[in-house]
Structure 1
Amino acid sequence: ILDVETQKPPRGKWTTPPFDPRFPNQNQTRNCYQNFLDYHRCLKNTSRRGKSTEPCQYYFRVYRSLCPISWVQRWNEQIRQGTFPGKI
């Protein structure tokens, strides 16, 4: 799990997340949470198989764009402590 400084996007390569038909409403809280879960699941599956984690960067960029930093920090701390409520 990366710290906030290493999670900053490269200059000039940041775009807004594309429309996701699973989350058509203005409230993007679920979208944020689902992309956070998808990112960590992707990391887990690709590292277990010994493959590149490059495809996971899409989920990373989307959740970093949508989620408040305080939520991400709290979720990462919960993952470290083993108390995260989501299934990764």
Structure 2
Amino acid sequence: MLDVEAQKPPPGKWTTPHFDPRFPNQNQTRNCYQNFLDYHRCMKSTNRRGKNTQPCEYYFRVFHSLCPISWVQRWTEQIKQGTFAGKI
């Protein structure tokens, strides 16, 4: 489900995430977590409806820009095990 290599843009095409007024402070931990949740919620709802998952790529790029890889790996493992604390 989370195939990082397949969804990466060509080298040099990563952009800095835009300003999100919900997270105005320098600490972007909540922004990282919220975009991770939004990505998985978007994927879940679009897959369930059989629609294109293209709009979900924005959340993917943002949380991959903001979140440490170790967090993303741990959260992904928790989702697979069914122990993730967030509501997806």
What TM-score range do you get, normalising by the shorter chain?
A: over 0.9
Equivalents in 1 of 2:7, 2:47: separation in Å?
19
How big is the alpha-carbon RMSD for the aligned residues of Structure 1 and Structure 2? 1.2
Deviating above 4 A after TM superposition, structure 1's stretches of 4 or more consecutive aligned residues are none
Q: Deviations over 1:26-56 (max 9, x none)?
A: 0000000000000000000000000000000
The corresponding residue for 2:9 is 9
TM-score (norm 2): 0.93
Distance (whole Å) between structure 2 residues aligned to residue 14 and residue 79 of structure 1: 26
Percent of residue pairs identical: 83
Q: Aligned in 2, Cα 1:32/1:82: closer, same or farther, shift over 3 Å?
A: same
Give the gaps of 5 or more residues in structure 2. Answer: none
TM-score by length of 1: 0.93
Q: Equivalent residue of 1:61, what SS?
A: helix
Equivalent-residue separation in structure 2 for 1:29 and 1:56 (angstroms): 20
1:29 corresponds to: 29
Give the whole-Å Cα distance in 2 for the aligned partners of 1:4 and 1:55: 16
Q: Give the letter aligned to residue 55 of structure 1.
A: P
The Cα shift of 1:13 comes to: 1.6
Paired positions, count: 88
Rate the CA distance shift 1:70–1:10 in 2: closer, same or farther, 3 A: same
